[in-house]
Amino acid sequence: MDISAYMADVGQKARAAATAVARSSTAERNDALLAMADALDASRDALTQANRQDLEAGRENGLEPAMLDRLELTPARIDAMIEGLRQVASLPDPIGEITGMSYRPSGIQVGKMRVPLGVIGIIYESRPNVTVEAASLCLKSGNATVLRGGSESLHSNQAIAACIAEGLRKVGLPEEAVQVIKTRDREAVGKLIAMPEYVDVIVPRGGKGLIERISRDARVPVIKHLDGVCHVYVDSHADPEKALAIAVNAKTQRYGTCNTMETLLVDAEIAADILPLLARAFEEKGVELRGCDRTRDILANVASATEDDWHAEYLAPILAVRVVDGLDAAIAHINRYSSQHTDAIVTENYTRARRFLTEVDSSSVMVNASTRFADGFEYGLGAEIGISTDKLHARGPVGLEGLTSQKYVVFGDGHIRS
């Protein structure tokens, strides 16, 4: 197979389909999503069979149990894909919204119209349900999409792609509006991220290694989500009950998510009072603490934190703890070690809360709330394609709006510039 020619063909078809999708009505796109849901529902056997092929090959190739688990399309996961499509169909259409129309002294009227980005490339790893999730969000926002899933889920993804194509066909939208790459060849990824003429943006979803590689090599803009080294700072003016509840929730509500707290900062003024309470709560949850020297002066049994611990995204029941001298030291630590994902302060002090909000340069900054809230659904975006740790375009949880752009529209009545 000539990968260059194949990907150029995919790209061309995507570009052509993008024009058709951009012109389609809200109802057409929603109907396509509902028709995809119906097609998935009617194809449960085919999906399960294709998935079984992937699972068998995975076992033969010695895939780890965790990978095999993510790969599996259980009946419940098929239900979730179907339900997801119906939910996306029910979201408001972001496309076409015109805002800010106002008259200028010259007499022209100027505003902005929300429009699709065009063609979105999504690169992801093992979970085949991402195929449906990514395709539905891109279509809803008026874009064409090229999907490249994990090579271990190729059969499952192709079976899902057949249902997506059926849905598009039913409403008369071009099937090429959603293309799932048919080859396992890694060269296809290299091509996909280097075709600015056909692809407008790449959204990689997966481990840090994948995302770093893609960001480095891409010739197309990337909406990327690197790591989540999130902090909670317990200020000396914190309400101890809130501090305890937030710290425990931010760390233990789920360990493996990017908005989980990885480092706890405690103001020296209250460290001796609150650290023992926090330590007890974390012990009950089975969380291992790694502390700075001042933490260990208070908590005798805590292991010593090294420089690496301040940088660590554990994604595990481990927590780094540091005693800091007040707000300035806390902000300095966060702006140095945070991955600029989500950071929170616990305080009752108005001025400190305001300073933390202004001076911490992260995509989500919180006062008296758990970092675990940093999520597209919790923020009311209705959907989430990922969480961006970039500053340009989309920052923080990315919903449908992050897959759109705004162009200027100008209304005149024969106006000319003088």
Residues of the shown chain interacting with a copy of itself in the complex, contacts defined by CB under 8 A = 19, 22-23, 96, 102, 104, 106, 108, 110, 113, 115, 117-118, 200-201, 216, 219, 221, 239, 241-242, 245-246, 248-250, 253, 335, 344, 357-359, 361-370, 372-374, 378-380, 390-393, 395-397, 405-418
Q: How many CB atoms lie within 10 A of CB 360?
A: 22
Of 18 and 302, the one with the shorter C-beta distance to a copy of itself is: 18
**60 or 413: whose CB is closer to a copy of itself?**
413
* DSSP secondary structure of 138-183: HHHTT-EEEEE--GGGHHHHHHHHHHHHHHHHHTT--GGGEEE---
Amino acid (1-letter code) at residue 315: L
Closest approach, Cβ 200 to a copy of itself, in A, equals 6
Cα–Cα distance, 339 to 158 (Å, whole number): 36
Q: How far is the CB of 379 from a copy of itself (least distance, A)?
A: 5
- For residue 329, the minimal CB distance to a copy of itself (Å) is 14
- CA angle 3/404/120 to nearest 5° reads 10
- Minimum Å distance from CB 327 to a copy of itself? 13
260: left (phi over 0), alpha (psi -120 to 50) or beta: beta
Contacts 24+ apart (CB under 8 A), 211-216: 214/123, 214/189
DSSP character at residue 372: G
- In the chain, the amino acid numbered 304 is S
- Shortest reach from residue 208's CB to a copy of itself, in Å: 15
Residue 408 CA to its chain's centroid (Å)? 28
Q: Which is nearer to a copy of itself, 37 or 137 (CB)?
A: 137
What is the widest separation between alpha-carbon atoms in the chain?
79
Contacts of 123 (CB under 8 A, 6+ apart): 148, 189, 192, 193, 202, 203, 204, 205, 206, 210, 214
Cα of first residue to Cα of last residue in the chain, in angstroms, is 58
Nearer to a copy of itself, 219 or 285 (CB): 219
Q: CB neighbours of 99 closer than 8 A, spacing ≥ 6?
A: 111, 112, 114, 406
Residue closer to a copy of itself by CB (options 102, 301) is: 102
Residue pair 186/15 in contact (Cβ under 8 Å)? The answer is no
When the beta carbons of 72 and 200 are compared against a copy of itself, the nearer one is 200
Question: Checking DSSP bridges between strand 98-103 and strand 109-116, what pairing results, if any?
Answer: antiparallel
- Exposure string over 249-283, b if 16+ CB within 10 A, otherwise e: bbbbeeeeebbbbbbbbbbeebbeebbeebbebbe
Close Cβ partners of 69 (under 8 Å, ≥ 6 residues apart): none
Nearer to a copy of itself among residue 178 and residue 199 (C-beta)? 199
> Minimum distance between the CB of residue 19 and a copy of itself, rounded to whole angstroms?
7
Residue 371 CB, shortest distance to a copy of itself, in Å, is 9
Nearer to a copy of itself, 316 or 411 (CB): 411
Closest distance to a copy of itself from the beta carbon of 116 (Å): 9
For the record, the structure tokens of 273 come out as 């009072």
Select 13 or 290, whichever has its Cβ closest to a copy of itself. Answer: 13
The residue type at 331: I
Minimum distance of a copy of itself from residue 223's CB (angstroms): 8
Rounded to whole angstroms, the Cα distance separating 258 from 247 reads 15
Q: Quote the least distance from Cβ 98 to a copy of itself, whole Å.
A: 9
Q: What is the DSSP letter of 186?
A: T
In this complex, which beta carbon is closest to a copy of itself, that of residue 156 or of residue 259? 259
CB of 139 to a copy of itself, least distance (A): 17
Nearer to a copy of itself, 276 or 412 (CB): 412
